[in-house]
A and B are shown apart, each in its own frame.
Chain A
Amino acid sequence: MTTRTQKVAASVAVAVVAVYIFVTLVTVLPSSPLRSSVVTATAPYFSQKWNVFAPSIMKTNTEFVIEAQWRGDGGELVKSDWVSVTGIEQQSVPGHAMPSRIQKSSWNAMLAYYGRYVALNEQQREVVRDTFIERDGEGGYRAKPPAPLIEQLEAVDGTDAAAQGDIVRFLRYDYMLKEYATDFATAYFGKPIERVRWKLVRTRPNDFDHRFDEQQQFDPYTVTFGWRHVDDVVDPETLAVYDDMLKRYGPTS
């Protein structure tokens, strides 16, 4: 025989389960009028996307490759070689059953950055592949401020209100990568870095039907971005962490 307590307890449990099922189904289903309000109300804790390796499985390796400039003894700009941040971070993978999560750092960052880059139109992409450096009026250089940069990108033909969000989202990630590249380059080259730039390199292994071929089926796809001005000093604590990481995974490890 069921008691009142049992009925109340079971009713609450069923209600909670029902609400959760409703919320998640609305969240994972394609767009519906309810979706945005439900997602807003339940994010970020219950945010979830289960399109892992789907619908089209990932087929390319994505790399974050950086280059830096610093002032030489004579005050001239010295340019470094290209260095693959992703290549160094992914030294953590081979031979480790459960690799350090460092394997995903620049790899995921470049996937997000690339997604925001392709959201721009062709003319905007051309602008962001250029340098973000300008003369400071005193014979030196400085970073282009964000406001005129946004204006320049918004002035491109065909930019609507939705595209303005894409511009800001791209520039925010671009700024983050500038910081990431600066920290990394400062530790890697051991110099006070004045400018950084990077390229996104995507390499695709042969398709299934050509998996035994010696010859590479696809050429690497590279997008090189322009120079970014470094306007802040890397703090010693951060530098020490990067130095330590490079000792483990870097070329001298």
Chain B
Amino acid sequence: MNQPNASRRLLPALPEPRQVPALLIGWLTRSKHATFSLSFLRIIYGGIILAFLATNVADRHYLWGVASQWVEPEAKRRGWIGLFQIAFPKDDAALFDLSYAILAILALLFLIGWQTRFVTPLLLVFWVGLATNSTVLTNGGDTIMRITLLFLVVADLSQHWSVDAWLRRRGARQVRPLWRGVIAETVKNTASNAAVVLCAYQIMLVYVNSAIYKLSGVEWRDGTAFYYSLVLDVFRPFPALSDLAWQWDVGVFVATFLSVWVQLLFPLLVLWRPTRIAALIVILGMHLGIGLFLGLWPFSLAMIALDLLFVRDSSWRRMLAWGLSAVKALVGAVRPLFTDRRPAPKPAATTSGVGAAAGVAATAAVAQPDSGR
């Protein structure tokens, strides 16, 4: 048997080594990847920041403002550059409130995707300025958002579900010299794809690093760690729910083992589509659990948004088309329950026809990626 031929048959998807550089250059420069995931991430990050500001609005001066002067001896030793320190001063409540309001507006603009290229760096400055103003309030969610927001400054976050995309579809295309357009497009594609790679690497770093630490802890190895996370006062938003969760031994063991092993094997599991889907389902479940049971929603949602960078645009289109079909089917099934059964003066077909046409148009819009790039 010819060994090289057998190897090629077993690994048909692997490219020849000499093709790798060209494939890599092509992948990085020719088109933008993960555009749906990046748009989803933009919405989630914007939502997280808005929810964070809303839940802390009453305590803002206690946590970061005039009443948090006591933390300054430590905070000022962290070495943050002035750019991040000027927005949220501890000695001027009015300026602090103004910055708080500006941050909320920036988060809203980011969420709806308006002028994202300019809003993202501003949001980064204000968000990091607030999150680093104190040394006792930060958590892993703040850290992951701080690092990835910097990468996302060069990513295309507004291809879908954004005001920018809507304006692009409505507006006339600008005619530019071909050489300038091609170079600009190549640079934009490469920057956006590099941001995707950096974010994907960052999430793998978090998972693998965290899993290795966990494996050296007794409670993670014997499967009881999940119990201990449920009994600390600071992580019990719903005490009855937490107490209910740790009653079931098997649930505690499974949650503990899955959280360690899926994190540890995540970089391998995402390489093959079936294991990637399974890993994403388990890890999304884990983060939803962290949010629900421990109240760490900013961290959980940020991780979910980053996990979904591993979902391809083609998968998003299929999921969205399926979702729209399901909604249409549901509406079709529910509508007769609310329809007036008396004979109508005019045929009802006109209304349902418009609805059906709108549904078809919406499905078609999802099936066709935005062309304004």
Once the chains bind, are A90 and B233 in contact (CB under 8 Å)?
yes
Within 8 A of A (CB), among B123-169: 128, 132, 135-137, 139-140, 143, 146-147, 150
Which residue from chain A places its CB closest to the CB of B51 in the assembled complex?
A98
- On chain B, the residues within 8 Å of A90 by CB distance are 233-234
Q: How far is the CB of A132 from chain B (nearest CB, A)?
A: 16
B191 at the A interface (CB under 8 A) = yes
Contact indicator per residue, chain B 175-187, by CB within 8 Å of chain A (1) or not (0): 0000000110011
- On chain A, the residues within 8 Å of B236 by CB distance are 93-94
A211-B237 contact in complex given A24-B205, A55-B217, C-beta closer than 8 Å: no
Within 8 A of B (CB), among A81-104: 90, 92-104
A38 at the B interface (CB under 8 A) = no
Contact indicator per residue, chain B 271-298, by CB within 8 Å of chain A (1) or not (0): 0000000000000000000011001011
Contact indicator per residue, chain A 92-121, by CB within 8 Å of chain B (1) or not (0): 111111111111111111001000000000
A223 at the B interface (CB under 8 A) = no
- On chain A, the residues within 8 Å of B74 by CB distance are 112, 172-173, 176
The prevalent SS among residues of A at the interface is helix
Q: Contact partner of B63 among A48, A61, A102, A237, CB < 8 A?
A: A102
- On chain B, the residues within 8 Å of A24 by CB distance are 202, 205
Once the chains bind, are A93 and B70 in contact (CB under 8 Å)?
no
Q: How far is the CB of A239 from chain B (nearest CB, A)?
A: 8
- On chain A, the residues within 8 Å of B73 by CB distance are 172, 175-176
B330 at the A interface (CB under 8 A) = no
- On chain B, the residues within 8 Å of A175 by CB distance are 73
Once the chains bind, are B234 and A109 in contact (CB under 8 Å)?
no
Q: How far is the CB of A39 from chain B (nearest CB, A)?
A: 11
Q: Contact partner of B233 among A51, A61, A172, CB < 8 A?
A: A61
- On chain B, the residues within 8 Å of A238 by CB distance are 66-67, 69
A57-B55 contact in complex given A6-B25, A45-B146, C-beta closer than 8 Å: no
Which residue from chain A places its CB closest to the CB of B296 in the assembled complex?
A98
A104-B137 contact in complex given A21-B201, A90-B234, A176-B70, C-beta closer than 8 Å: yes
A100-B198 Cα distance, complex, nearest whole Å: 31
Most buried by B among A12, A44, A50, A90: A50
A58-B237 contact in complex given A51-B213, A172-B74, C-beta closer than 8 Å: no
Once the chains bind, are A50 and B206 in contact (CB under 8 Å)?
yes
Q: Contact partner of B239 among A5, A12, A94, A105, CB < 8 A?
A: A94
A212-B295 Cα distance, complex, nearest whole Å: 24
Q: How far is the CB of B359 from chain A (nearest CB, A)?
A: 34
Within 8 A of A (CB), among B61-77: 61-63, 65-67, 69-71, 73-74
Once the chains bind, are B22 and A2 in contact (CB under 8 Å)?
yes
A111-B194 Cα distance, complex, nearest whole Å: 38
Once the chains bind, are A241 and B65 in contact (CB under 8 Å)?
yes
Once the chains bind, are A100 and B58 in contact (CB under 8 Å)?
yes
Q: How far is the CB of A123 from chain B (nearest CB, A)?
A: 25
A16 at the B interface (CB under 8 A) = yes
- On chain A, the residues within 8 Å of B210 by CB distance are 50-52, 54
A9 at the B interface (CB under 8 A) = yes
- On chain A, the residues within 8 Å of B147 by CB distance are 45-46, 48
- On chain B, the residues within 8 Å of A7 by CB distance are 25
- On chain A, the residues within 8 Å of B58 by CB distance are 100, 244, 248
Once the chains bind, are B238 and A95 in contact (CB under 8 Å)?
yes
- On chain A, the residues within 8 Å of B187 by CB distance are 5, 9
Contact indicator per residue, chain A 209-253, by CB within 8 Å of chain B (1) or not (0): 001000000000000000000000001011001101100100000
12 A–B contacts, CB within 8 A, in A order: A6-B28, A9-B187, A10-B25, A28-B209, A44-B80, A50-B140, A50-B210, A54-B217, A96-B237, A108-B136, A175-B73, A211-B246
The 7 closest A-B pairs by CB, nearest first: A55-B217, A241-B67, A54-B213, A179-B70, A13-B194, A9-B190, A108-B136
Told that A9-B29, A13-B28, A98-B237 touch, could you supply 12 new A-B pairs with CB distance under 8 A?
A3-B186, A43-B79, A45-B147, A54-B210, A54-B217, A55-B217, A92-B59, A93-B233, A94-B236, A94-B239, A96-B295, A244-B62
